[in-house]
């Protein structure tokens, strides 16, 4: 049933399909290609697993919190307004992501595989960012000093900012592993493109997220973090000075208490209080609840349209209640613990360097999630990919104890 040639081809298809799926993360209008690559990978993995040619790594520090949270989200169908739609969204947002997590952790097991994932994420986002910059500022003729970078109607600008800041930290980690001039030039060009797109988004949230990631990065790389903070401060100051129509307007609204987030938080907090334990359901449409709750607030908090929560904890509280928050925080603590265990191996270790880099990226996205919306299929895919990257490193850390001296050198110092 499984001859050697067929096994080799199946493994190559599985490997390539997952890389294609990751490459397509930032691109809109590629749903069909993305779905084909994902389910082709699932089919190949299932075939290899049934033939005992693939070991699925399900014993990880993160899998139990993941499954517990997914189970609670599925149980929320019992009180959700639309049980069928709730279950469908649990599959798309959680079950599918857990499958992706297991496949990535099971297929990409070597240091060179780890770096290949980094390259795929960096290059895909750099290409999409370059296309957006050329189209919006060169072809359409908008000024980057007066207009935020627009990635098109199918991609939210703030969401692209979240992707940029995460991939920047992954790229910085990759920089420490690449030593050939050609690769460094390519990587520098890609990171410069992503950084330019991130700054042209003109997002306060992205700046704060970048700063939080740099704080984590300072654990091993104080000089790099200080340079990053200095560049960030200089660039933000310049943008504030030369783009007053964007930055000063935001600053003035914040100082005057007219920022929409005040009304958003007040409205969703009152919603959460109404269903404190269980929430309204994982995928319940909250528009009708918004209007009813918002009308009860003082007139200065009234809005013309409903908004999303702009805070991942508040989002969890409204949809899944206190239980949902606790289960999700359990997962976050498990991620932080795994990242810290890896980072403690030190800057001279491949596992330590890359563990800290992924942890910095993870910190940045959840810092952005405190004042923005990160529960979206695009962002969720990237978050579960980060979890898979940490798990890959965690498995490599466990393997170091039993590997040969040559293999240990690869894991501890990285590839030449």
pLDDT in tens, 386-397: 999 999 999 988
* Rounded CA separation 219/39 (Å): 39
3-state helix, strand, coil in the chain (%, to 5): 75, 0, 25
Q: Are 262 and 253 in contact (CB under 8 A)?
A: no
Q: In the predicted model, is pLDDT for residue 51 greater than 90?
A: no
pLDDT value of residue 262? 81
CA angle, 167 then 320 then 71, to 5°: 80
Return the pLDDT at 406.
Answer: 44
Model confidence pLDDT, tens digit, residues 108-138: 988 889 999 999 999 999 999 999 999 999 9
- Residues 244 and 291 sit within 8 Å (Cβ to Cβ): no
Is the predicted pLDDT of residue 48 greater than 50, yes or no?
yes
Does 240 score more than 80 pLDDT? no
Does the structure show a pLDDT above 60 at 338?
A: yes
**Does residue 44 surpass a pLDDT of 80?**
yes
| Between 9 and 263, residue with greater pLDDT | 9
What pLDDT is recorded for position 404?
A: 46
Higher pLDDT, 247 or 53: 53
pLDDT of residue 256: 59
Nearest to 224 by CA among 400, 100, 347: 347
Average pLDDT over residues 208-237: 88
Task: Give the model's pLDDT for residue 284.
Answer: 74
Contacts of 144 (CB under 8 A, 6+ apart): 137, 200
Query: Measured between alpha carbons, how far is 301 from 311 in angstroms, rounded to an integer?
Result: 17
48-52, 164-168, 283-287: which is most confident: 164-168
Judge contact between 62 and 338, C-beta under 8 A.
Answer: yes
Is pLDDT of 23 > 90? yes
Lowest mean pLDDT among 21-25, 257-261, 267-271: 257-261
| For the chain, percent of residues with pLDDT exceeding 70 | 91
What are the Cα distances from residue 106, in Å, to 56, 86, 126, 180, 385?
Answer: 5, 29, 27, 29, 12
Q: What is the mean pLDDT of residues 136-147?
A: 86
Mean of per-residue pLDDT scores for the chain: 88
Average pLDDT over residues 249-271: 74
Check residue 248 and give its pLDDT.
64
Question: Would you state the pLDDT for residue 257?
Answer: 58
Predicted pLDDT at 162: 93
pLDDT at position 416 over 50 = no
Can you say whether the dihedral through the CA atoms of 344, 348, 350, 355 is positive or negative?
A: positive
> Could you tell me the pLDDT band of residue 249, with boundaries at 50, 70 and 90?
low
CA angle 26, 333, 384 (to 5 degrees): 20
The fraction of the chain above a pLDDT of 90, given in percent, is 58
Report d(CA 104, CA 309) in Å as an integer. Answer: 31
* pLDDT at position 126: 97
Of 17 and 153, more confident: 17
Domain boundary assignment for the chain: 1-54, 58-413
In whole angstroms, what is the distance from residue 45 CA to residue 36 CA? Answer: 14
Task: Give the mean model confidence (pLDDT) for residues 379-384.
Answer: 96
């Amino acid at each position: 049933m499984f001859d050697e040639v067929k096994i080799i081809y199946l493994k190559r298809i599985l490997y390539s399909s997952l890389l294609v799926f990751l490459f397509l993360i930032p691109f809109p209008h590629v749903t069909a290609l993305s779905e084909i690559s994902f389910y082709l990978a699932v089919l190949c993995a299932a075939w290899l697993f049934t033939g005992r040619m693939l070991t699925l790594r399900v014993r990880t520090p993160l899998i139990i919190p993941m499954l517990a949270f997914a189970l609670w989200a599925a149980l929320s169908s019992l009180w959700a307004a639309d049980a069928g739609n709730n279950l469908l969204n649990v599959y798309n947002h959680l079950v599918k992501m857990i499958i992706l997590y297991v496949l990535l952790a099971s297929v990409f097991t070597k240091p060179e595989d780890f770096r290949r994932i980094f390259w795929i994420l960096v290059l895909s986002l750099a290409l999409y960012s370059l296309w957006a910059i050329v189209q919006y500022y060169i072809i359409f003729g908008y000024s980057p000093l007066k207009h935020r970078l627009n990635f098109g109607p199918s991609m939210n600008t703030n969401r692209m900012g979240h992707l940029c800041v995460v991939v920047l930290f992954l790229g910085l980690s990759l920089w420490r592993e690449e030593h050939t001039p050609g690769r460094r030039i390519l990587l520098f060009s890609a990171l410069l493109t992503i950084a330019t797109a991130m700054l042209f988004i003109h997002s306060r949230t992205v700046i704060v997220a970048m700063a939080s990631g740099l704080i984590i990065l300072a654990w091993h790389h104080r000089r790099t973090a200080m340079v990053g903070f200095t560049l960030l401060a200089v660039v933000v100051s310049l943008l504030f000075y030369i783009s007053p129509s964007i930055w000063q307007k935001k600053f003035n609204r914040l100082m005057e208490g007219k920022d929409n987030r005040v009304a958003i938080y007040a409205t969703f907090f009152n919603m959460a209080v109404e269903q404190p334990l269980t929430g309204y359901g994982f995928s319940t449409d909250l528009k009708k609840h918004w209007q009813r709750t918002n009308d009860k607030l003082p007139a200065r908090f009234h809005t013309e349209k409903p908004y999303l929560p702009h805070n991942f904890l508040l989002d969890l509280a409204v949809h899944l209640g206190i239980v949902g928050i606790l289960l999700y925080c359990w997962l976050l603590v498990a991620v932080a613990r795994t990242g810290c265990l890896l980072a403690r191996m030190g800057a001279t270790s491949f596992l330590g360097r890359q563990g800290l880099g992924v942890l910095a990226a993870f910190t940045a996205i959840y810092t952005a999630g405190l004042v923005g919306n990160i529960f979206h299929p695009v962002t969720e895919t990237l978050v579960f990919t980060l979890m898979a990257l940490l798990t890959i490193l965690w498995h490599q850390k466990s393997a170091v104890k039993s590997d040969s001296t040559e293999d240990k050198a690869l894991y501890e110092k990285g590839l030449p």
